Structures are given as C-alpha cells and as structure tokens.
C-alpha cells in the first residue's frame, strides 16, 4: 500500500495525484519550489490578465499527463517497468527546472552562453547526487540514452507531455478558447510500435485539431505583438543596466543574486558553481529592480522602467516582410528630437526585429500514425489530412517597436 | 457609435468588454495597473498552485458582473441613468484599489491604522481630482450617499458583485469545484423594489446554493490551515524585521517604498501624503525582501525567511476550541531547546491564534426575496429554506502554528 | 493485451472505455439496447429541453464511475479480485435494466405489482443463463449476498454510482448548474474499512456539497410542478384507457406489446413469461399511442392526449400542506360545467395528490466518515457539518392539478 | 416593462430568455412543439449516446445566438428596428420547422418532391395567417426579400446562427470536443458594412478555427460510417414497406399519419393540404412502426426492422473512390446464398452509395473580413490564412453497406 498520497487541486485537470515518496521529495525541494515564482508565460499577463500561472504549475501538469499517458500505454500491453515509469515521471517533472525568470527574453542577457535545457540537466544531476543515483533512469530518458525511445519522445517530441500541457494550460489561463486541445483523446490514441510513439488511426482528426490549435496559439498568443513589445522592453532595460555598469555607473539590483549576474564582466560564461546563485533568481528580483530603477538618474533606464511598471508599452507592429530602413529612420529622427537623445540612444526606443517561435524546436521528428493494417505514415503523408502541409511551415514575423510619447 | 471598444479575454467569463473611454483611462492608470502585481489570494497558491490571479483580474471580473447585473435590472424596467451606470461600474472597478500586498495579513503590520476601504476611497478621490469630478457619482455610490440604495448594494452587500466575482474566481483558479457559484442565474434573478436589491422568488435555490458554496470556500480555502500558517509566517517576518530595526539593527528592504514603511517609528499612522509611496508597494517588494533576508545575520529572521522561500511552513492545526496553555508550553519548551532560543524568541516559532472570516463583513444586511404576490422576506425567514439558519453563524477557528525542525 | 477496447464519447465524462468482452456483449444485447429508447427523466424534457438523455446513457455513465471508483479503492490497497471487479461493473451496468417507459409514473399502471428492481434482477438472471453463469458474482453483489459489502454499497447506498451518475447527468442535461456534483473528489475520497464504504475525513465538505446538490435537484427538478403535472396527465390517460377497455370500448395501442399490457384483466399480476413482451415496450409505444388517441371518440381520452401532445399541461401548484376540500370542490364544479362532464369524470381534470421523492429510498444507511485517527462517524454526527440534519428530512409536497380551459 | 419573460435552462448556453409575447406564442404552438419529438441528429445517438437533443432544442439555441448577434451588431451602431429584430428572431426560430422525422434520410422516401425549407415556409405562412400578418417581416427576411441583406445572412449564410448552433450543440451532445466552436468570439467579431455581414480583422483566427471545427464535425460525426449505415437501413425499411404495399401486401404503420404517407400512390407529390397530417409525424411513429414490423411476415422487412431495433447495423466502409463492381458482386453472391434471397432482394442487404455533406449548401457566398483600413477580403484571400483553401473543397465519400450474418 502506498504510504504517500497527496492530491493537488488543479483547475485544468481537476486533481493531480502524487503517490511516490521521491516525487514528493523532488517537488518539495527548494530547486523545484523556486518555479512557483516564475511566470510560465512571462509578460503575457499584460495582455491576458489570467495568464499568471507558474512554471511549477505547468510542470506539475505535464507530470499529470505523463501519468495518464503511461497508464494508457501500459494498458495496451507495452511493457514499462516501475523504474522506467518513475524515471519518465521525474524527467517530465524536471524538464523545465532550468528556466530562469523571463527565460525566453533574458536567457541571453542575464545568464550568457547557456541554454535552459543545459541548466535543467545540471539541476537533475545535482539532485541525482543528493538522492544517491535515484534519478539515473530519469536522466537517461531525458538525455535520450535510455533504450526505450518512446519514453524520451514523451518528454521531448512532437507530442510530448510538456507541449501538450503548455498548450492546454496557456489556453486555459489566457482564456483563448481557440487553443483548447482535446488532450484526453490524443492520449487515449497513443500507442507504441517498434519502440516509437505512434497515434492510432482513429486519432488522426484529433491530431489535426491539435496542430491547428497549436498554430493558433502561436499566432494569437505567443507572437502577440504587445507581449513581444513588453519582453523587448525588458531586454532593453537589462542591456541599458549592463551598459551603465560597464560604463562605471552605480546601479544596484534589488537582490544580491540579480546583482551578481548583472555585474559579471562582459563576455563571461555561466559556470556550474553559479547554479545556487542562479537558483535565487525569480521574477520578483527582476520586477522589484525594474520598479526601483524608475528612480535611477539615467534617463533612459528610468523611462524604460517606468514604462514597464505603468504598462506604457512600445507600440509594436508585426508584418511578414522586414521593415524598410526608411520607416525606422523616420521614426528614429522623430523620437531622437522629442526625447532629446542621440541617434544611438534612440535605439532603446525604436528598433526592429524578427520573431519566430522559440517555444517550438522545429526538427525532423514525425508524428507517426499507425493504421489498422499495420502501416505507419507521418501525419503529413496521410491522404485527406487537412492541414498538415501548411502547419509545418515555420512562423516568422518581423516587428517594429517604438516609443509612444 | 462607440469610439472605444476593448475586449479582454477572461478564462472565467470568456470576454470582458470595455466600451467607455473613462473606464479605459482608469484601467490604464498606474494606480490601477499596480494591482497586477498583487495576488488576490495572497499565499493561497502555496496550497492551490493555480490561485495566482491578481487583484486587477478580480476587479475586472467584478466590473463585468456589474455590467451584466445593470443590464438585467434595466431590462426589468428599473430606471438607471447613463451617469449612474458609469458610476456603478467605476465604483466596482475601484472598490479594491486600496489593497496592498498580502493585504489581510499585512494591513496592520505595514500600514498601520488604516483600512483598505479607506485607502480605496482615498485613491478614488485622487482620481476624481485628476479627472475633474468625473467620479462624483461613483464615489457617492461607493460611500452610500447616492439616493438609489440598490446601486450601493451591488458594490457592497450580501450579493454584491465583488463577493460574487471573488467566490467564482477563487473557486475557478484554485480548482475547488465545490465553490462554483451559479452566478448567471443569481444575476438573472436580481430585481429592485422599494429602492432595494431583491431576488425573485424562483431564485431561492440559487441563493441557497450560493450560501453553501460561500461557506465551503470559507472553510476549505480561506481558512485552510496551511495558508493561515504561511500568512502568519509572513507576519512574523515583518514583526521581527520591525523589532530588529527598532533595536538598531541594520536591515534594508529590497525597495525604497517597503523600506520607508518598515522604518516608520512604532505607533506611526498612515497619512494621505504617503499614498504615492504606498502605491509603489506590491508583492514583489515583499517577496524579494524575504529572499534577501535569508542571508541576514539575525538567526530568527533568516530562518523564517528561508522557511517561506522554501515552503517549509509551520505545522498548523485548527480546532473549534482554544488550545490549552499546556499544549503551547510543551511545544515552546521543546522548540526553545532545539533552536537554542529564549522562551520569548520562541514565540516566533510556536504560537496560537484565532481565525475568522475577515473577507466577510457580517452585518445586519438581508437577502430579500421578492415573492410573486409582492411579499418580501429575508432568505432566513423563507419557509423550507434549507440552510439559512446555519449559514449565518460566523465561522471561527482556533489555530496553533509551530515550527517543524 | 486486451483484445476488446471500445471508446464511447460522453459529453459528461469525456470518454467511457469498454475493455472486457463480456461487458461489450451485454451492452450489445437487445435487452440493454432497448434502454436507448427510454428517457432517463421521463417528461422532464417538457420543462428542460436538454433532458432527453436515455437510461442507456445513464447506466453507461454509472459503469464509468464504477470503473473509476474501483481503481481508486484498489489503489488504496483494498483487495478486489478481477472477478469481483467484473461483477461490480456488470451489476451497475444492469442495475436499471428493468425500467420500463415513464417508469416512475407508469410502473403501477402498466405492469402491475412488480417493482423495476425485481425486473432488473429477472433480466440479470436471464442473461446469466444465456452467458452460462458469467453473471453469478454480479448478481450476488446486486442482491447483497456477496461477502464484500462495500461492493454492494457502490451499487446501492447513499453514495452509490447510480445516484452519483444520475445527479451529475441530470444536472448536466437539464442545465441546472446548481445540481453539479464534485464527483471526482468524492470518488477520490472513497475508501473501505471493516468491509464498509467510507469517505476520508478531508472529503467531508464534498459530501456536504453533494447532499445540498442532491436536495436542490430534488426540489428544483425532480419535484418540478410542471413535470409532475405532465406525468400525472399520462397516468390519467392510461387510467382512462383501461377504464374504457374495461367498459368494452374498442381501443388499440400503437403496438402489440403495449396493447397486451393495456388489455390485461384488472388485478392481473406481472409474470416472468411476460418479460419478452415487456422488453418490447419503450417510450415510442406510449407516445405514438397518445398521439393516435387524440382522434379517439372518447372525449376525455382525446382531450388528455391532445393536451400532452401539444404541451397544454395541467396548471399545477405545490404546497407544504394538503389542499382543502373546498378548493378542489370549487374547481371541480367550475370544470364540470365548462367541460360538460359529470363530477366523477371531472376527476380526470382536477385532482390533488402527494409527491415525495421516489428516486430516493430513505433507509437506515449512513455515510461513514473515516477520520485520520481511525474513528468513524456518520456525516450527520460530524461536528460542524453544516447541513446534515436538515438534509435528512424527507421532502414531501402536496399538489393540485387542474385543467386550464 | 416587459410583461412576458421566460427563462429556459440550456446546458449549452446556460439560459435562453424569451421576452416577447409573440415568440412565446410561437414556441407554444403545436407546430413548434412537435419538434420536441424529432431528433436533431437522427440516428447519430446509435454511435454517440448523448446525441439525443431535439430539433426544438436546436432552434431555441439558434434563436438565442440570434439575440446575442443582434445585440452585438446594434451595439456597433448598425440600425435594426424593433420590427426587424423580432422578424429575425422569428425567422431563425422557425427556419427548421419544416423538418420531418429522420429528415435527411426520409425526405425523399416519405414526403416526395418537397424540401424541408419549402415546408418551413409553408408553416410560416400558416402561422402568419393565424397571427394576422405578424410574421410578414420574418418571412421577408427568411426568403431574402427584406432590404437588409445581412439579416438574411444571419439566417442562411456561411456564418448563420443555424449552422453556428448546430455545430456547437452537436459537438456538445456528442461529446466530440474537437468540434467545439468559439462562438462567443465569432459573434463579438460580427459587424455590418454595405449591408453585408462581415467579420472584423481580429476575428480571422476564430474563423479559421470555426472552419476546421466544422470540417472535423463533418468528417467525424456527420459522415460517420455507422450512422450512415443506420440511416440507410431505415431508408431500406421504408422502401421495402412501400414495395410491399405497392405489391398489395397488407402493412400497417403504427399511426394513421405515417400510414397515410406510406400508402400514397407511387409518384404522388406532397400538397399543402397534407400539412396537418405531416405535422402529426415524428420519430415515434417511425420507430414504433419499425418495432411492430419485426413481426411482419415479410422476411426482408422483419429482418431489417429487427436489425435497427437491436442495433445490428450494416457493416459500412467508407473510401474516397467508388467501390468496384467485383467487390459488390462478391458480397451479393455470398449474402444471397446465406439469406436465401434473389439477387435483386439482396440489394436490401448489400449496396453502395455516395455520401456528401447534405447539411451544408455549398454556394458562392463568402466570409468577408473587414480590415481596419476598410478593405474587405474573403477569408480565402487573406494572406497567411491557414486553411481556407483546403476547407472549401466539398467532402464526398463512397460507402459500401453490407449485412453481417
């Protein structure tokens, strides 16, 4: 009989059940608890006020889907040992543990040269040491060194539990009904053949719907112009802060940990011994610093910080082609005059860029459909499949952000 | 034709429509935007990970319900002028604007001697000045000086839109399905007679269900032992911080605004000129400070701060009778020894208290049921009404919190 | 690996999975398929247009809840053998198979002297013969002869899966949001001690909410005055039809099976050899006959039949005390005159009666709460339990129905 | 003040409000009440047990959406007079009133030579006479003779309220989550320009999602092979019945109305004086007759009728190309032998056909998108619109049905 059993209320799935002592210990660990203070969707709540759910909540959700998927697959006669089951659950629980605050925006600004997946692995290895190797299988699955490939696919693949949960959860909390995914049907249709994750034939339409929902979330939510503008503004704040520090100006962040990373010499690379300092960082440090800097003597920094705090964001426009130099030059001139800045400084207030889906790694992986007659086809090869061809094209937008005075 | 029209996605109601320029200006005002950074349910997210919605989101929701209720009441032939309609909408939008971070817990610790409703009124008056008297009617309704009493009841009463939204929203985000309220039916049943808000006879069962849902939310969520424990821990942190400051110890908060209030001399009273400083405060200041103080030399402060950050909360027990002195004394002795503290200092780690519903002002107001024959009865007087008698009794619990080493 | 696996879409629970060949055979059996054509809620759809779900759908739903409950209980270490599991699933699937059309209304009119539970058992025994004893355990559980009492309680008890599903499903299809039951939490809280079904301590509030929801459904839906009036009108139609037949008037039902039962001599008792004829009966026979009889020469019969068909129902009033003779006499006199009937005939158009909850067998059974310390208390004995005392009182209403000319 | 106000519970939209006396009179009319007894989705409930909602329920739902859409459009400054508003509501309420039982399957079998829209108009004209011309505007809108074209588009067009409701409602009752349509957002995006219904630019993605949902419902639900097989079986029953009658065999339907139409001489055409007889027909007549005919001496008829009743349906296969003669010939030979039938008679037990979407009139009409700059484009011309091109192609499937002995 289980000695551990904890039920967590979740507005999305109803209840999430924890029934293994190690899972409970990992969730209780400070490394994991810090994810409570990191918004899953960064600044999306500036547009969708409900989108304030945390990375902790998302990874609990992904864990829940993993439990459901493993039960389903086992129910179809595929062998999964208890150790593999625990490993897959731990791996999905920890898959995002390396995220810092405003990760997609700040990864390159605050912690240079290291990707959040690398940090996730670093955290897992630390935990593995602390728990005497109990995460060996989890790490093997996460790094795709475990022989059962389909377990890795459930962590990282076209239909992994991470992606499934974030689409569902982001759709739920934003209130963007168009993004709702029929996850229960998708999971019911999962199966395994030749060590690969497959979808049963009758799940084709659920997959089509999933691909459309995903695309609509990308276009409507993840590439929302105002959210892009807000995140760019935060990037500009950090850049200005580092520029001032590099120029010898006194500038303190609201916390020692954030201060530490801000004051790293230019060109520094993240090293594993900084992990505990990194672990102190969350959204609170960033946001408190931004608020504090509203009073900083540097006009550019203070103006940007006030703009974030008071939600006076850049006017942002998206289009499918790059913006012309003329457009940018004209706005730069106008803003340089009105703000009393040099042309170079005005780069904080008008600039262009290119946004594509960073939440989605386009790779070669397929969504395999297993037909009743045993044949296997990629969804894009299925006769009559509505949307596959269009869905695969990557989404790229050009944006211009400029200050509205 | 309207010149302003903004649609906000809301996971609870679908869409919230803003169609008046003044409403939009108020929402865009920094006074209002700060509510984004204040959790509606304070530390409830430590138990219910979804409960991270903001006070801004709640007041937008209450505004939406007000729009619906006013349309319904007007549809029944009750006269409400456009000015009154705008006033009622503004009043509900701003009813909670005076809340600070962790309001219920910190009101007495951080900003002494002033209730959040007083602050709300202060904010409204400032805005009224800024908008040249455009909030006159809103303020009259809020302070119950407007002749149409039912408009005030929609802001503050047994069935006000504030309460309705927070029960619905808190239930939604916590995932506590038992708290779901049939708000659409309640609103459809609202009517006005003799200047008073009433519920039509056939709405009796919806009201009964509402009262039960409310009570269950109180008992299961608002008085959740772990949440009480967490909020008490934050109160203890602030008390310790002020005690240290009073004792001359150097202690800096993460932000100037929080610092300002912490360093007020004991016994100081909030004054209106502090409003702009107050307005700088939100959850980020508190949480960053707590994290920073984990490294403070004071053993008590740092231990408490680490406990919050790592979610190593007090063990809290609730019961209907006060805890005996013996129970407390025994735990105090044990903890004093293990933590190496004086008995007095141990008061930070074991203590008792009394929790009752602070979110609910028990007053004399009634829920009037309007019968088809024209009679009016309070819900508690309705023959066969299930639950009214029990529902009215106030809920009070005694708790003990103690440190688990 | 399972060789049978069928997924049925259900708007209430998402999917219902059938994964045992015998379950599938039973569902495919004509005895079971006839339940498709019997409305779960009889004439409730005349008030709630969505309430058109069938008894087949309800028993599939109860089967689904049984699967969930058994998995939960097994997960807590209670032993349930595969045979018992199958037995419990079959028993719940078949618990209502003895229902005829408009069962609560017509049980005494069409098939005299036999209760639908007796018929259910008769059906099960027939199926058991056909499937060579494969339903032995199911029957033992259904008739409470199986040693594990808690399995019987899941079929028939205060918290059985039948009741849970019909409350959820009826609430869902009527759209009466007040009746929504947090069934997933209730099921998660089920446990077994001393061979008895229990609810864990932290499930108390879910039980309270369940009891309130149940009561509200009884009062708002199951005792809805218009529905009572409609069902009484159908009873009057059958009575008049039998009266005419007894008086030698030619009267044919739309189907041989219905004809057979209508033409049974007064005082006849149902016998098992009539089971196959009974099995031909469903709502269609009744409703087609009612439509056909609109053209019957008997003025009373045709008027009543037209009234049902065109939804010109009795005006029905409910109250807590019996109606006075004077009230009835006055209306009788008035109707006798306007319809040109004798006083006795007028009894078809004005009459009184008493309605109490026939869907709910008040018995001595308890809802046991299992406390963490091992103590067991009935919900009504739990300190602070809101509603228990009131909830137990039976609900009885007096009604008067009269024709509106 | 309104003197009429009726609230109907609807599981899909919560509440439907009737607030005009004429609407209430129309709903109470026997012509309308008969729709209670006609399944919206015919035999779909044989696959999706929840799909038992009635045509009455659907048209109430469409009426509700119309109320919402008109309020939205008026809120955008488009003039709609009270008379037009009432007309549009009546027109949508009555748009389907001409449907008979199993309409799509039986239209050509039972009532020859007349389309249900013609019958709807006939009903409206009768009601217009009865209500002294009160439906003049409704009829003008329905028949597209009213000058405000957009009102007609709300009744019959790519985005009409009929289609919107049936997609939502069918998806809801079947439990096919993939079909869920974000109707509230679509309606919020509706506007009118140049007398035409348009969708605002920011509604593009909602329209894309709508088109995908619609297509998935078509493929998964409306063209479900088992449902096609069941409806074909009913057609075969009627054909056999008429064949027997034409051959002089005695065969009685369960009701005079159904009998009347069955016994019309071959080649007869429906005439308006048959409308009241038609109005007696609903699903009950058909289904009772089918049950009764299980005992008919004709082997083919009785076998088909038993198959429907016991849900022993044809094995049906769909494919994109026609089935070869060889396939059919082989199955015919095999079945002729096993059933002891002539080759011609075997045509009742094996046959092929072609199914395309009959619920959807492919016409030239466009979904116009109104851009912020005033430009208007069809959704299929919008740059980056995902799915438009594929979505437009009509869906056609070839099927083979054959008896499984």
Rounded to 10°, the helix D161-174/D55-75 angle is 130
First vs last Cα of chain A: how many Å apart?
66
pLDDT at B361: 45
φ, ψ of residue B14 in degrees (nearest 5): 95, -75
Q: What number of other Cβ atoms are within 10 A of residue A353's Cβ?
A: 15
Q: What number of other Cβ atoms are within 10 A of residue A102's Cβ?
A: 23
Task: Compute the distance between CA of residue C43 and CA of residue A61 in angstroms, rounded to an integer.
Answer: 42
Scored b (16 or more CB within 10 A) or e, A114-125 reads bebbebbbbbbe
Closest CA to D110 of D222, D233, D241, D230: D241
Task: Compute the distance between CA of residue C148 and CA of residue C192 in angstroms, rounded to an integer.
Answer: 10
Instruction: Convert the pLDDT of each residue in C281-320 to its tens digit.
Output: 999 999 999 999 999 999 999 999 999 999 999 999 999 8
Contacts of D394 in chain A (CB under 8 A): none
Q: Does B82 touch chain A (CB under 8 A)?
A: no
What order do you get walking across the sheet with A368-370 strand by strand?
A190-193, A196-200, A368-370, A376-378
3-state SS, residue C193 = strand
Q: Does domain C6-221 have CATH number 1.20.120.80?
A: no
Query: Beta strand pairing status for D315-319 and A6-10?
Result: unpaired
Contacts of B184 in chain D (CB under 8 A): 14-15
Are A1 and C76 a contacting pair at CB < 8 A? yes
Residue percentage of chain D with pLDDT more than 90: 72
Give the nearest partner residue to D291 out of C9, C53, C280, using CB atoms.
C280
- Given a cut of 70, whether residue C391 has pLDDT beyond it is no
Residue percentage of chain C with pLDDT more than 90: 72
Are D220 and A205 a contacting pair at CB < 8 A? yes
Residue D350 Cα distances to D278, D320, D323, D345, D353, angstroms: 31, 19, 12, 10, 10
Contact A293, A143 (CB under 8 A): no
The CA-CA-CA angle for residues C115, C119, C123, to 5°, reads 170
Task: Compute the distance between CA of residue D196 and CA of residue D189 in angstroms, rounded to an integer.
Answer: 14
Contacts of C64 in chain A (CB under 8 A): none
Are B287 and A284 a contacting pair at CB < 8 A? yes
Specify which residues B350 forms β-bridges with. Answer: B402
Counting as contact any 3 or more CB pairs under 8 A, the partners of A are B, C, D
B76 CA: distance to closest CA in chain D (Å): 6
What order do you get walking across the sheet with D350-356 strand by strand?
D315-319, D396-402, D350-356
Q: Does C320 touch chain B (CB under 8 A)?
A: yes
Give the nearest partner residue to D205 out of A178, A206, A391, using CB atoms.
A178
Tokens of B191: 């009517």
Contacts of D177 in chain A (CB under 8 A): 180, 182, 184-185
Residues 141-170 of C with CB under 8 A from B: none
Contacts of C77 in chain A (CB under 8 A): 1-2
Contact C143, C121 (CB under 8 A): yes
Task: Compute the distance between CA of residue C334 and CA of residue C387 in angstroms, rounded to an integer.
Answer: 44
Contact B285, B258 (CB under 8 A): yes
Q: Does D221 touch chain C (CB under 8 A)?
A: no
pLDDT at D177: 78
pLDDT at D3: 58
C70 CA: distance to closest CA in chain D (Å): 24
Give the nearest partner residue to B10 out of A10, A175, A310, using CB atoms.
A175
pLDDT band at C269 (very low <50, low <70, confident <90, very high): confident
pLDDT at A359: 42
Contacts of A50 in chain B (CB under 8 A): 9-12, 53, 57
B104 CA: distance to closest CA in chain A (Å): 21
Are D184 and B2 a contacting pair at CB < 8 A? no
Closest CA to C348 of C284, C296, C302: C302
The mean per-residue pLDDT over the stretch A35-59 comes to: 97
Residue C210: closest C-alpha in chain B: B178
Instruction: Convert the pLDDT of each residue in D225-259 to its tens digit.
Output: 999 999 999 999 999 999 999 999 999 999 999 99
Are C182 and B177 a contacting pair at CB < 8 A? yes
Q: Where are the domains of chain D?
A: 6-220, 225-357
pLDDT at B24: 97
Task: Detail the DSSP E strand segments found in C80-151.
Answer: none
Task: Compute the distance between CA of residue B276 and CA of residue B281 in angstroms, rounded to an integer.
Answer: 9
Instruction: Convert the pLDDT of each residue in C136-170 to its tens digit.
Output: 999 999 999 999 999 999 999 889 999 999 999 99
pLDDT at D365: 66
Q: Which CATH number fits domain D225-357: 1.20.1250.30, 1.10.3720.10, 3.40.50.720, 3.30.1180.10?
A: 1.20.1250.30
Task: Compute the distance between CA of residue D93 and CA of residue D120 in angstroms, rounded to an integer.
Answer: 11
Closest CA to C235 of C37, C43, C1: C43
Query: Beta strand pairing status for B368-370 and B196-200?
Result: parallel
Low-confidence ranges of chain B (pLDDT < 70): 1-3, 358-365, 383-393, 405
Task: Compute the distance between CA of residue D110 and CA of residue D300 in angstroms, rounded to an integer.
Answer: 19
Task: Compute the distance between CA of residue C371 and CA of residue C201 in angstroms, rounded to an integer.
Answer: 5
Task: Compute the distance between CA of residue C55 and CA of residue C348 in angstroms, rounded to an integer.
Answer: 30
Residue percentage of chain C with pLDDT more than 70: 94
Q: Does D10 touch chain C (CB under 8 A)?
A: yes
> Per the CATH hierarchy, to which homologous superfamily does domain D6-220 belong?
Hypothetical protein af1432 (1.10.3210.10)
Cut 0.95: pTM above it = no
Q: Which residues are CB-neighbours of D284 under 8 A, at least 6 positions away?
A: C283, C284, C287, C288, C291, D37, D255
φ, ψ of residue D278 in degrees (nearest 5): -55, -40
Mutate to test the interface with D, among B3, B4, B5, B372 (most CBs of D within 10 A): B5
Of residues C75 and D49, which shows the higher confidence score? D49
Tokens of D20: 């005009």
Closest CA to B93 of B16, B197, B148: B16
Instruction: Convert the pLDDT of each residue in A123-157 to its tens digit.
Output: 999 999 999 999 999 999 999 999 999 999 999 98
Give the nearest partner residue to B11 out of A10, A30, A175, using CB atoms.
A175
Tokens of B382: 């309705």
pLDDT band at D2 (very low <50, low <70, confident <90, very high): very low
Instruction: Quote the DSSP letter at residue C54.
Output: B
Q: Does B48 touch chain A (CB under 8 A)?
A: yes
Contact A295, B256 (CB under 8 A): yes
């Amino acid at each position: 009989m289980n000695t551990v059993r904890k039920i967590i209320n979740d507005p999305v799935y109803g209840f999430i059940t924890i029934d293994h002592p190690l899972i409970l210990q990992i969730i209780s660990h400070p490394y994991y608890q810090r994810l409570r203070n990191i918004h899953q969707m960064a600044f999306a709540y500036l547009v969708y006020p409900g989108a304030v759910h945390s990375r902790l909540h998302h990874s609990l959700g992904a864990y829940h889907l993993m439990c459901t998927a493993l039960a389903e697959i086992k129910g179809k006669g595929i062998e999964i040992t208890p150790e593999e089951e625990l490993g897959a659950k731990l791996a999905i629980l920890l898959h995002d543990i390396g995220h810092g605050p405003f990760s997609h925006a700040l990864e390159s600004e605050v912690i240079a040269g290291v990707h959040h997946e690398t940090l996730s692995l670093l955290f897992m290895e630390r935990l593995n040491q602390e728990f005497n190797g109990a995460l060996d299988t989890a790490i093997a699955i996460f790094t795709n060194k475990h022989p059962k490939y389909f377990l890795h696919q459930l962590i990282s693949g076209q239909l992994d539990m991470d992606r499934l949960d974030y689409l569902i959860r982001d759709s739920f909390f934003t209130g963007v009904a168009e993004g709702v995914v029929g996850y229960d049907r998708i999971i019911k249709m999962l199966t395994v053949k030749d060590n690969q994750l497959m979808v049963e034939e009758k799940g084709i339409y659920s997959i089509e719907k999933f691909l459309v929902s995903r695309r609509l979330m990308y276009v409507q939510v993840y590439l929302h112009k105002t959210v892009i503008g807000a995140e760019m503004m935060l990037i500009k704040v950090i850049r200005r802060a580092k520029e001032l520090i590099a120029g010898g100006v006194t500038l303190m962040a609201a916390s020692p940990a954030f201060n530490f990373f801000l004051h790293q010499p230019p060109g520094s690379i993240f090293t594993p011994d900084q992990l505990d300092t990194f672990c102190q960082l969350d959204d609170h440090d960033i946001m408190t610093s931004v608020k504090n800097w509203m009073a900083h003597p540097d006009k550019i920094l203070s103006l940007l910080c006030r703009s974030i705090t008071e939600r006076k964001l850049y006017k942002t426009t998206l289009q499918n082609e790059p913006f012309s130099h003329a457009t940018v030059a004209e706005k730069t001139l106008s803003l340089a005059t009105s703000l009393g800045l040099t042309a170079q400084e005005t780069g904080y207030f008008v600039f262009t860029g290119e946004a594509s889906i960073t939440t989605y790694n386009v790779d070669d992986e397929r969504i395999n459909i297993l037909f009743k007659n045993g044949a296997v086809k990629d969804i894009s090869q299925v006769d009559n499949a509505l949307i596959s061809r269009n869905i695969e094209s990557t989404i790229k937008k050009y944006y211009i952000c400029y200050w509205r005075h």
